[in-house]
Amino acid sequence: MVTIRPAAERGHANHGWLDSRFSFSFADYYDSRQMGFRALRVINEDYVAPGTGFGKHPHRDMEIFTYVLEGAVKHQDTTGASETLVPGELQHMTAGSGVQHSEMNPSETETLHLLQIWLIPNAFGIAPRYEQKRFAVQDEPNKLHLLASTDARDGSFRVHADAELLAAKLEAGGSVTHGFRLGNGWLQVARGSVEVAGKTLTTGDGLQIEEESSLTVTSQDGGEFLLFDLK
């Protein structure tokens, strides 16, 4: 069974320096029907104005990913990490027993556009960890790329959650098929449009997937998406 979460129905907050859309309840946006799905708790699409960002703030017991679509983000945290993340790279942070970090847009002219993702962990109080890596999503289209997994296979990040994360960029006429390992899923369209189970999804749309053994995603015009495999 698949259920569309339309982009236009997401929560929205505009703070001037930050313009955000929330797939699930977050901050001042609350919808009792949208509290996450399985281990997936947060998907925020953020636009951060030049020279601004999220100052130092704490996290605990959450698996956090940042997927940059445009611009760059400067990350610093109390593990000692200080890195700049650009499109094509993925950032993963295990908040664990507690960490503070900041995420800033270092450009004075370019807006930062990113997806912020939180997964509920299956282990608590573990040592915080930060890592980032370039994956070949943009360089190798029409292929599903494993970004995070429960066992760190194929060069993916190890995630302490009942979830795995994949991504693909489809060219016009491209197609990929995924066989679910954990039994459920969520698809989030990052750019363009894709077709799934006879439905067309466009930028910002999500698709909740329950008890499906596999999923085929195609695109007529080209699209990029994240796919979560969830227990």
Percent of the chain whose predicted confidence (pLDDT) is above 70: 100
The mean per-residue pLDDT over the stretch 154-165 comes to 97
Domain 145-230 CATH superfamily:
Jelly Rolls (2.60.120.10)
pLDDT at 120: 98
For the domain covering 10-134, report its CATH number.
2.60.120.10
pLDDT at 193: 98
Average pLDDT, the chain: 97
pLDDT at 52: 97
The separation between the first and the last C-alpha atoms of the chain, rounded to the nearest angstrom, is 15
Q: For residues 161 and 80, which has the higher predicted lDDT (pLDDT)?
A: 161
Residue 3 has which token pair?
A: 């259920």
Q: Burial, 156: exposed, middle or buried (Cβ in 10 Å; 0-12, 13-18, 19+)?
A: buried
What is the residue whose two structure tokens read 């847009």?
105
Question: For residue 61, what pLDDT band results from cuts at 50, 70 and 90?
Answer: very high
Q: What is the pLDDT of residues 188-207, one digit of tens each?
A: 999 999 999 999 999 999 99
The mean per-residue pLDDT over the stretch 12-34 comes to 97
| Intervals of CATH 2.60.120.10 along the chain | 10-134, 145-230
Look at 75-79, 139-143, 164-168 and tell me which has the smallest mean pLDDT: 75-79
Closest CA to 182 of 122, 128, 138, 96: 122
pTM of this structure:
0.96
The mean per-residue pLDDT over the stretch 46-70 comes to 96
| CA dist., res. 217 & res. 170, Å (int) | 9
Percent of the chain whose predicted confidence (pLDDT) is above 90: 98
Query: What is the distance, to the nearest Å, from the Cα of residue 96 to the centroid of all Cα atoms in its chain?
Result: 19
